[in-house]
Amino acid sequence: MARQKVNVDWALVTGALVLSFYGIAIVYSAGQTDIPIAGYIRNAWKQQLVWFMLGIIGAYAMSRASIRMLEWLAVPLYAFTTALLVLLIFIGKGAGTAASVKSWLVIGGFRLGQPSEIAKLTVVLMLGKILAGSKDPPKSFVELWKPALVVGIPWILIMAQPDLGTGIVFVGIFFAMLFWSGISWRLLLLLASPVVSLILTVSTQLWGAWFLLLLALVIWYKPYLWEGVFLVAANVVMGVLAPILWERLEPYQQNRLRVFLDPSVDPRRSGYHVIQSQVAIGSGGWFGKGYTMGTQKRLAFLPEQHTDFIFSVLGEELGFLGVVVALTLFLTLFLRIIRIAERANDSFSSLVAFGLLASWFVHVVVNVSMTLNLMPITGIPLPFFSYGGSFMLASWLAVGVLVRIAHEGRGGKHGPFAI
């Protein structure tokens, strides 16, 4: 690696730093309770701080690595993480509330981390490489087989753990990067149609309406005949499959979905989390109950306060003001990354930047929505906030990559959301 000065995108780095400190402060608060809790939760903030520092080092290293090297490494890294995910099927371990989810790599009793966090990065790299490799964006379903395969393999392996939340992130990355590659929005819509079908099966009427709309779209878009047939068939199959898939879900996952539709169906158990989270946030008011003073958290009404529901702690203790500050910081970060992607030097860098953005974006939107019951509980962490070493490290590695992309990209020209 040639020693050269890297032009650091300070807006990006500062945003990520502030978010990390903000997050560690909330993780510290999550450990402050009136009742005895596990020591690791009480000391989680120290762990988080260590991982954060490792992340800074990792980010620095990544910023020194040429994008070309990353592009070159994409295939072996992808193969490696896929292999790890395959391995997890056999030796994966659960943790905490998700004890039945085989997402942890444990060797000799030592928890190495969750490979799916690294997989988010490598899939972004691999997908970027594939999409950047072709001159034009995919124009038909046939041309989508490679990107679909790149995301599909790890996606299936992760869904097999089963980790629904991370699965959703992969879907988000897939669609976002296709969008960024310039794929026609109609194709994107048709591609998304089976997913929409799956979601709409909760109501036969909704699904029926969607299906008619889809038929109209297919006629208008005029794909190849067999593509059209495939698409319609996929939607029908989804509609039919949904109940079968439903049966295959773990009972706790089924409950989460049921509770999403109506938290009061089971206020003591599955609905409990989301009700208590809403109470915590709602009782925060404008300025919150004061840092570390949240009663919902202190008295253990709020579950998973250091991981999935960390944002509820923030909402309870720092109020609407704290929430707005956090969300604004995230938005700043997103807009900055969009600018980096826009000005990237080459299509691979640009796609990677946008893919990393998509990953965070899905995390933030899904996690934060979940605390208000705007989305079902999927156990997806909040970047820079939720306690978790691999995720902190992976997030900072991504920051490093983005710094590098910004460094190699064009300066000067302002995008629509210049920060």
Site residues (CB under 8 A) for other proteins? 34-35, 131-137, 179-182, 268, 276, 278-286, 295-296, 299-301, 315, 319-320, 323-324, 327-328, 330-331, 334-335, 338-339, 341-342, 347, 350-351, 354, 357, 361, 365, 368-369, 372, 374, 415-417
- Compute the least distance from the CB of residue 286 to other proteins, in Å: 7
| Closer CB to other proteins, 35 or 225, in the complex | 35
| Closer CB to other proteins, 157 or 302, in the complex | 302
CA distance 338 to 116: 24
Helix (H) or strand (E) holding 111: strand 110-113
Helix (H) or strand (E) holding 107: strand 105-107
Single-letter code of the amino acid located at 166: T
18 CB-contact burial (10 Å; exposed 0-12 / middle 13-18 / buried 19+): middle
For 405, the 3-state DSSP assignment is helix
| Closer CB to other proteins, 157 or 337, in the complex | 337
- Compute the least distance from the CB of residue 293 to other proteins, in Å: 12
- Compute the least distance from the CB of residue 81 to other proteins, in Å: 24
CA distance 128 to 50: 31
| Closer CB to other proteins, 207 or 361, in the complex | 361
CA distance 77 to 234: 32
Looking at residue 302, the DSSP 8-state letter turns out to be S
Whether the link from the prior residue into 115 is cis, omega within 30° of 0, is no
- Compute the least distance from the CB of residue 374 to other proteins, in Å: 6
| Closer CB to other proteins, 253 or 378, in the complex | 378
User: For residue 98, how many other CB atoms are within 10 A of its CB?
Assistant: 20
| Closer CB to other proteins, 158 or 178, in the complex | 178
| Closer CB to other proteins, 113 or 288, in the complex | 288
- Compute the least distance from the CB of residue 346 to other proteins, in Å: 8
Of residues 156, 175, 177, the one with CA closest to residue 167: 156
Token representation of residue 326 = 């956090």
| Closer CB to other proteins, 76 or 182, in the complex | 182
Residue 110 φ/ψ, nearest 5 degrees: -100, 125
- Compute the least distance from the CB of residue 84 to other proteins, in Å: 29
Token representation of residue 84 = 């790890």
User: For residue 326, how many other CB atoms are within 10 A of its CB?
Assistant: 24
> Which residue matches tokens 């899939």?
123
- Compute the least distance from the CB of residue 112 to other proteins, in Å: 33
- Compute the least distance from the CB of residue 295 to other proteins, in Å: 5
